[in-house]
């Protein structure tokens, strides 16, 4: 029996028999969880989450933890080492999708497909305090999420709360035909539609093709997330951050749409990227100036 199996056993034995007796709004109906569930379902409806593809984590506020606490397991799981050190996330609580569980099913049964985990005071292990029933554990990309939450919390002065990974098909297709270079890929995304430079003025990072759920992918992504709010994983998908569900979902949506527009325009143009009408570098500068945004000048000609 593995560590996780025995942890789940403990939960089974220790959980209150009648959690319904606890007063307060059930976790599933609290606003943060409703937002989390809605985002999972919205991603499913977009077609970004085949099978168990994609995952989502949310760093809870102290008030949200207190509202949910009456529903936590009486006996949380044992601590599980993450192989990651996150000093600025000591004691934090995250909502996370489950490894191998389907975004499609989150709305039907949140307590099976989603869990709340606590990070220990050393910042290097998690334990399950709610949900992920029947032996579930956090997403296989949890180390990546924690490492990247740590980086984005530092980069945003604590504002970042959401990390979202999906498999949007046009983004994946783009990585098959373009050099895996942040500047080259950012430029085609910025030039796909005028809003893009406003939505991600720093650009997007890009990794090589790497093993899903691996620590190397987590490390490579967290290096890039010091600079970028979003990182494309070659031949895999996209990892987006944001202060709230709307921002992270919106960033995913915009990057996917830009990649799709670029792909369509290439096809309409016989495969050539020399379009009759394009967004020039001066256009990009003008948009950034008009909206008082600091655009990544290194990505402009
Ligand atoms: P999980 O089911 O473990 O979240 O994995 C899905 C995925 O997309 C891995 O990159
Ligand atoms: Zn994935």
In ligand 1, the atom with minimum distance to the C-alpha of 100 is 2
Cβ of residue 113 lying under 6 Å from some atom of ligand 1: no
pLDDT of residue 201: 98
Read off the pLDDT of residues 202-229 as tens digits, 9 standing for 90 and up. 999 999 999 999 999 999 999 999 999 9
**Residue 206, SS3 per DSSP:** strand
Residue 207 Cα distances to 104, 227, 261, angstroms: 27, 13, 22
- pLDDT of 21: 60
What domains are defined for the chain? 25-163 (3.40.225.10), 168-301 (3.40.225.10)
Q: Is the CB of 212 under 6 A from ligand 1?
A: yes
Separation of CA 134 from chain center = 24
What is the 3-state secondary structure of 84-129?
A: CCCHHHCCCEEEEEECCCCHHHHCCCHHHHEEEEEECCCCCEEEEE
Q: Which residues of the chain have pLDDT under 70?
A: 1-21
Angle at 174 between CA 205 and CA 233, to 5 degrees: 40
Nearest CA to ligand 1 atom 4: 139
CA 116 to chain centre: 15
Q: Which atom of ligand 1 is nearest to the CA of 166?
A: 8
Residue among 141, 208, 223, 274 flagged as catalytic: 141
> Among positive and negative, which fits the CA dihedral 151, 156, 159, 165?
negative
Q: What is the DSSP letter of 192?
A: T
State the distance from the centre of ligand 1 to the C-alpha of 51, rounded, in angstroms: 9
Ligand 1 mutation pick, 139, 167, 231, 239, max ligand atoms within 8 A of CB: 139
pLDDT at residue 287, rounded to an integer: 98
Distances (CA, A) of 121 to 14, 85, 87, 126, 204: 23, 11, 9, 10, 32
How far is it, in rounded angstroms, from Cα 94 to Cα 249? 18
Closest CA to 129 of 115, 148, 141, 147: 115
Task: Give the residues across from 52 on adjacent strands.
Answer: none
Report pLDDT for 18.
46
The two tokens of residue 119 are 């990070």
Q: Is 141 a catalytic residue?
A: yes
For 162, the 3-state DSSP assignment is strand
Give me the pLDDT at residue 23, please.
77
Considering the entire predicted model, what is its pTM? Answer: 0.93
User: How many CA within 13 A on the CB side of residue 232?
Assistant: 29
In this predicted structure, what is the pLDDT of residue 22?
A: 73
* Phi and psi torsions of 98, nearest 5°: -90, 150
* pLDDT for the residue 10: 42
Which residues make beta-bridge pairs with 57? 96, 163
Looking at the DSSP bridge assignments, the partners of residue 241 are 163
Q: What is the pLDDT of residue 12?
A: 43
Does residue 144's CB lie within 6 angstroms of at least one atom of ligand 1?
no
User: Do 176 and 152 touch, CB atoms closer than 8 A?
Assistant: no
- Could you tell me if the CB of 179 is within 6 A of ligand 1? no
| Per-residue model confidence (pLDDT) at position 296 | 98
């Amino acid at each position: 029996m593995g560590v996780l199996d025995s942890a789940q056993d403990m939960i089974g034995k220790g959980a209150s028999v009648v959690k319904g007796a606890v007063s307060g709004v059930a976790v599933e109906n609290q606003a943060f969880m409703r937002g989390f569930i809605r985002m999972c379902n919205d991603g499913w409806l977009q077609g970004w989450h085949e099978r168990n593809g994609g995952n989502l984590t949310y760093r809870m506020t102290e008030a949200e933890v207190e509202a949910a606490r009456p529903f936590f397991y009486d006996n949380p799981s044992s601590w599980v080492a993450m192989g990651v050190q996150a000093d600025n996330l000591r004691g934090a609580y995250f909502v996370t999708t489950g490894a191998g569980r389907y975004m499609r099913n989150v709305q039907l049964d949140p307590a099976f497909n989603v869990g709340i985990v606590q990070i220990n005071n050393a910042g290097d292990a998690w334990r399950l305090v709610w949900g992920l029933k029947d032996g579930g554990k956090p997403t296989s990309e949890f180390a990546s999420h924690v490492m990247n939450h740590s980086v984005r919390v530092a980069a945003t002065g604590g504002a970042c709360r959401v990390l979202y990974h999906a498999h949007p098909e046009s983004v994946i297709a783009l990585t098959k035909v373009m050099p895996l270079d942040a500047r080259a890929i950012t430029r085609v995304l910025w030039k796909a539609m005028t809003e893009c430079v406003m939505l991600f003025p720093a650009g997007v990072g890009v990794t090589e093709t790497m093993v899903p759920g691996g620590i190397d992918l987590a490390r490579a992504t967290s290096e890039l997330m010091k600079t970028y709010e979003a990182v494309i994983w070659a031949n895999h998908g996209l990892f987006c951050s944001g202060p709230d569900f709307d921002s992270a979902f919106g960033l995913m949506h915009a990057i996917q749409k830009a990649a799709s527009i670029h792909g369509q325009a290439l096809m309409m143009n016989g495969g050539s990227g020399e379009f009759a009408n394009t967004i020039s570098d001066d256009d990009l500068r003008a948009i950034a100036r008009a909206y008082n945004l600091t655009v990544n000048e290194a990505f402009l000609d």
